[in-house]
Structure 1
């Protein structure tokens, strides 16, 4: 099965999902609970569904008591087969513009950097602001001491059941945010970990690449 954006413009899919949810009298929290997704995922699907996988689509179809054809606006096949049929994953490269779009649909990624002569990988919440990746950390953390050091940053979304997903890899340098940058993005990034994490760091991308795994 292909992702839904190849059948109909994303805005149409977002509208159908929202209209169907409202017709059932469901809040976004209700829809998220019934579909086994997060409220943030429902919010993204209703505004930027390009990041939705086939697995998400099937969960939404069941949660909203509808059909794939009705939700994505396509006619059913002349001789529909029962079930999903065999999975045929295809790996595709992603253009830089598509990679940046995927980064905008996410709020958590992994940063890889050298610390004490070892490669360290940690998850961070982030936002993409004017082409820069911004995250918050503790003032005394190792990464907060870096200034124009080389790092790698990865964001992905994987659907194990459908063997489908995408991954974006950014190579660049990390530095403390300027006072102006910090003032603009401080409220846009909410760390999940507790403690004081008001030190804003910026990753300046040098290379951006990505791959998408689709099932047909």
Structure 2
């Protein structure tokens, strides 16, 4: 079965993390693996590096690991299954940093109450004018957010470094009905909805409160 592509930079982070866990220098790993220390440094530090299978086999053996583990063999599992960082540091995020992390588009989760009970659903979103907009269908569960105060969340977990952040947005959701607004949002959309289908109902969340937090590994 073909492997899913590994995000650029993930292999290097995993190599460096495993090497540090073993207390080895790049030179020591390079000697064990029979590779150039300069190339190992390149792989660890260059986000676009994609080393070949021979390199990966040699380095995996030198690091007492396996190629699937170094490539992120648990990528298909829920995030956060790894060990917590040593001495984790919890930091609240300010509004400006939260907005920067939201960027201008992505995939987030919206909390909604449906006929079957509460649900948290992923949606493709776009940020415009300080508001968050997403597409859905009138019969889809996210449409139930219209006319209600909702919670919207985006997060990122870095399994290699046991770090991550999350941003939570609270505010009322309304349907976008003005034709010009719909055309503008459609033009700004970076992607069709991942769920597919006819999803031309736009919902806008106007933030009343934005909070966030970041967890990083501490020193020591």
Please say whether Structure 1 and Structure 2 have the same fold, judged by a TM-score greater than 0.5.
yes
Unaligned runs of 5+ in 1: 1-31, 43-54, 72-82
- 1:108 is displaced (CA, Å) by 0.2
| 1:58 alignment partner in structure 2 | 13
Give the 5 Å matches for 1:106-125: 107-116=106-115, 118-125=117-124
| 1:164 alignment partner in structure 2 | 163
- 1:118 is displaced (CA, Å) by 1.8
How many residues align? The count is 154
| 1:6 alignment partner in structure 2 | none
- 1:56 is displaced (CA, Å) by 7.9
- Aligned-partner Cα distance in 1 for 2:198–2:96: 34
| 2:182 alignment partner in structure 1 | 182
Deviations 1:4-49 (A, max 9, x none): xxxxxxxxxxxxxxxxxxxxxxxxxxxx95xx217xxx8xxxxxxx
Whether 1:197 aligns to 2:203 is no
Unaligned runs of 5+ in 2: 17-38, 48-62, 64-84
What TM-score do the two structures reach when normalised by structure 2? 0.60
- 1:121 is displaced (CA, Å) by 0.7
* Rg comparison, structure with higher value: 2
Contact preservation (8 Å) 1:106, 1:155 = no
| 2:132 alignment partner in structure 1 | 133
- 1:141 is displaced (CA, Å) by 2.2
Over 3 Å counting, the alpha-carbon distance change for 1:213 and 1:145 in structure 2 is: closer
| 2:216 alignment partner in structure 1 | 214
- 1:92 is displaced (CA, Å) by 0.2
Pairwise CA RMSD: 3.1
